[in-house]
Amino acid sequence: MKPPLSRSERFFALFPEAKPYRMKQLEEALFHTSESNFGNITTFPKELREILAAHIPWISVQCEKAIESANKDTIKAILRTEDHVRFESVLMANKRGQWTICVSSQIGCAMGCTFCATGAMGLKRSLHEDEIADQYRFWRMYLDQHERHNERISNVVFMGMGEPMGNYDNVKAAIHRWLTHTDIGPTRITVSTVGVLMNLERLLTDKDWPPVRIAISLHSADQKKREEIVPTTTPDFLNNLVAWSHKYAAIHGNRRHHITYEYTLLSGVNDTPEIAEELAQYIKKTSFAKVNVIPWNPVKGKVFSTSATDRIEKFKAVLRAHGIDVTQRRTMGEDIAAACGQLITESAEPPNGRRIPLMLP
Ligand code: SAH
Ligand code: SF4
């Protein structure tokens, strides 16, 4: 499935002679006005604005539905692309009293992790750079429209639908857009990946790769078990990842750029104290790292179960006894199926001429 053309593709198709700074000006305006049309972009002459309005959508994603969790700390939006495919994006209150957006990078996912709802969908298509970048614009407008102008979006995590390292160029382009046009700094952006080594290698030599944080979804320190949990695991993945982590640390490593290993705990599968011991030994072989354990969020049709609290505590204690910095992911938005790995959307029917408003109240 091919994505629609991006804004910049359309812009340069309309104005092949335009200087690149003009496109930058357009994006700057898109990120900095809460108006929803081109009429206010006074840096462009009126005739130009009219052409833009006729050929380029103001925003690449439309909201079909926004659902708020009972305790109001999480809002999930079902967004629709121009070609009528739905995906989800989540706004979560963070510890700093600000908002974190959990963005999607693809519709569905090809990696097939056995415990994940998005993986069960397969990959429909990758999102293009505007569809990723505009999730920020969407949530900014959402807050503004709900009289929350003063509330800040301070962080972005690529922990929604899809595998960001399976959509490298678009993910990178979207990150650059946020770094240029918002006040979010690179250490407030985290790319979470299941570990597509080919592209993790690529970012090491990519001069244009932004200094964002990387989180790797590990789930097991045993090659065979990881292949069962994450069937797309490549041969000798765990050893190759150790080697990669040292190369990464040599280039980007400092306290602000540690690697985080995410570890989804599946009861009876990867959560015993012996397995924690094995994980600790593995983590010690990698470069400076932290571990973030994620209690499994139930997914319909999956046979796994969530680890009991005392089991989770024991698991963390084993890692801590080895001096490993461990945090536990707070589960948010479970009541609206917006927690990690619960994101799934069926494909949307074309709206049959029905006009869907930008935002529902
Ligand atoms: N594809 C990327 C990013 C999206 S998933 C990745 O896998 O890293 C974001 C995080 O949610 C990953 O760490 C993933 O392992 C975790 N996750 C997926 N499904 C989950 C579930 N049902 N319960 C808890 N965590 C889950
Ligand atoms: Fe894809 Fe990440 Fe889900 Fe695995 S956990 S299927 S990589 S979205």
Length of the chain: 361
Ligand 2 pocket list (CB less than 6 A): 109, 111-113, 116, 118-119, 162-163, 194, 217, 341
Given the residues 27, 63, 88, 102, select the one marked as catalytic.
Answer: 88
Q: According to the model, what pLDDT value does residue 255 have?
A: 64
Residue 166's alpha-carbon distances to 115, 162, 248, 288, in angstroms, are 19, 8, 19, 25
**β-pairing, 99-102 with 86-93?**
antiparallel
Q: According to the model, what pLDDT value does residue 34 have?
A: 61
One-letter amino acid of 45: P
Q: According to the model, what pLDDT value does residue 196 have?
A: 97
Task: Count CA atoms within 13 Å of residue 40 on its CB side.
Answer: 11
| 113 catalytically annotated | no
Q: Find which of 25-29, 105-109, 327-331 is predicted with most confidence, using mean pLDDT.
A: 105-109
Given the residues 63, 113, 116, 340, select the one marked as catalytic.
Answer: 340
Q: Which residue has the tokens 């929350």?
A: 148
Asked if 248 and 284 count as a contact pair (C-beta separation under 8 A), the reply is: no
Range with the poorest average pLDDT among 170-184, 198-212, 342-356: 342-356
One-letter amino acid of 233: T
Q: According to the model, what pLDDT value does residue 335 have?
A: 76
Q: Considering only CA atoms, which of 77, 54, 82 is closest in space to residue 66?
A: 77
Distance (angstroms) between ligand 1 centre and the Cα of 48 equals 44
> Can you tell me the distance from the alpha carbon of 260 to that of 214, in angstroms, rounded to the nearest whole number?
7
State the average pLDDT over residues 151-173. Answer: 97
Q: According to the model, what pLDDT value does residue 353 have?
A: 29
- Tens of pLDDT, residues 49-88: 999 999 999 999 999 999 999 888 999 999 999 999 999 9
pLDDT band at 340 (very low <50, low <70, confident <90, very high): low
Q: According to the model, what pLDDT value does residue 341 have?
A: 63
State the average pLDDT over residues 321-330. Answer: 94
Helix (H) or strand (E) holding 317: helix 309-321
Q: According to the model, what pLDDT value does residue 172 have?
A: 98
> Can you tell me the distance from the alpha carbon of 129 to that of 105, in angstroms, rounded to the nearest whole number?
9
Taking the CA of 218 as reference, the closest ligand is: 1
CA dihedral 172→177→183→188, nearest 10 degrees, is -10
Q: Which residue has the tokens 């569809």?
A: 131
Distance (angstroms) between ligand 1 centre and the Cα of 314 equals 22
The whole-model pTM stands at: 0.93
> Can you tell me the distance from the alpha carbon of 191 to that of 248, in angstroms, rounded to the nearest whole number?
14
Distance (angstroms) between ligand 1 centre and the Cα of 33 equals 33
Coil/strand/helix, residue 138? helix
Coil/strand/helix, residue 183? coil
- The DSSP secondary structure of 16-68, one letter per residue, reads TT--HHHHHHHHHHHHH--SSSGGG-TTS-HHHHHHHHHHS-S-SEEEEEEEE
- Tens of pLDDT, residues 249-300: 998 877 677 899 999 999 999 999 999 999 999 999 998 789 999 999 999 8
Q: According to the model, what pLDDT value does residue 333 have?
A: 75
Asked if 139 and 146 count as a contact pair (C-beta separation under 8 A), the reply is: no
> Can you tell me the distance from the alpha carbon of 75 to that of 81, in angstroms, rounded to the nearest whole number?
19
pLDDT band at 3 (very low <50, low <70, confident <90, very high): confident
Ligand 1 pocket list (CB less than 6 A): 115-116, 158-159, 163, 192-194, 217, 262, 264, 294, 296-297, 299, 340-342
State the average pLDDT over residues 135-154. Answer: 93
Residue 209's alpha-carbon distances to 176, 213, 221, 270, in angstroms, are 9, 11, 28, 33
CA-112 nearest atom, ligand 2:
6
One-letter amino acid of 321: A
Residue 129 zone, left/alpha/beta (φ > 0; ψ -120 to 50; rest): alpha
Asked if 195 and 216 count as a contact pair (C-beta separation under 8 A), the reply is: yes
Q: According to the model, what pLDDT value does residue 339 have?
A: 67
Q: According to the model, what pLDDT value does residue 337 have?
A: 72
Q: Which residue has the tokens 């995590």?
A: 157
Does residue 311 have a pLDDT over 90?
yes
| 340 catalytically annotated | yes
State the average pLDDT over residues 318-335. Answer: 90
Helix (H) or strand (E) holding 217: strand 213-217
